[in-house]
Amino acid sequence: MKELRGPQVGQGRSARRKDPEELGLGRALKLYGRAFILRCPHCGRGRVVQSWFRMHPRCSACGIRTERGEEDFFLGSMMFNIILSEGLFVAFVIGLIVIRWPAVPWDFLETWAILLMVAAPFLVFPWTKTLWLASDILIRPVTEEELRWYEENQDRTIRPFEER
């Protein structure tokens, strides 16, 4: 089990955290909206997707690490991969049935539904990562200390949160 550490004595800045970091619908929409257009959920300006299957290690604008200090950070993105893949699949099947009813091309549907099921996890890949990052920022807002840590530790890859 991970050791939990409270705020450090003498660094009491976290107590003065600003209101925009609260867990609200507006903030969630903003973070997920940025994630949907594949921008940094934190600042909305930087690019975080390097290629279809690869994330930049850091946001090009604000500098936050896309893995936010944990090696297995993106394990949680698998949840979004399942949700988005299944959503795409269901939308395709139901959409085709509704549009073509009653002359539904069942043979076509059978073949393409299977192909889509195989391809969907790859098609939605970049969004699974950015949406997961947005969820993490929603729950664990980026603090000034964290941003400072990124600035001061450009080349480090170990956990910025737990070690402080």
Which CB sits closer to Zn ion, 85 or 135? 135
Return left, alpha or beta for 67; rule: phi > 0 is left, psi -120 to 50 is alpha, else beta: alpha
Site for Zn ion in 32-51 (CB under 5 A): 40, 42-43, 46
Binding mask 62-81 for Zn ion (x = CB under 5 A): x-------------------
Q: How far is the CB of 81 from Zn ion (least distance, A)?
A: 22
DSSP state of 4: P
- If one asks whether residue 59 binds Zn ion (CB under 5 A), the answer comes out as yes
- If one asks whether residue 147 binds Zn ion (CB under 5 A), the answer comes out as no
Q: Which amino acid is at 15?
A: A
* Among 160, 67, 80, 90, CA closest to 126: 80
Which CB sits closer to Zn ion, 3 or 152? 152
Q: Is 132 exposed, middle or buried (0-12, 13-18, 19+ CB in 10 A)?
A: buried
Which CB sits closer to Zn ion, 49 or 120? 49
- If one asks whether residue 137 binds Zn ion (CB under 5 A), the answer comes out as no
Q: How far is the CB of 155 from Zn ion (least distance, A)?
A: 19
Cα 69–Cα 74–Cα 75 angle in degrees, nearest 5: 120
Which CB sits closer to Zn ion, 40 or 131? 40
d(CA 128, CA 42): 16
Q: List contacts with Zn ion (CB under 5 A).
A: 40, 42-43, 46, 59, 61-62
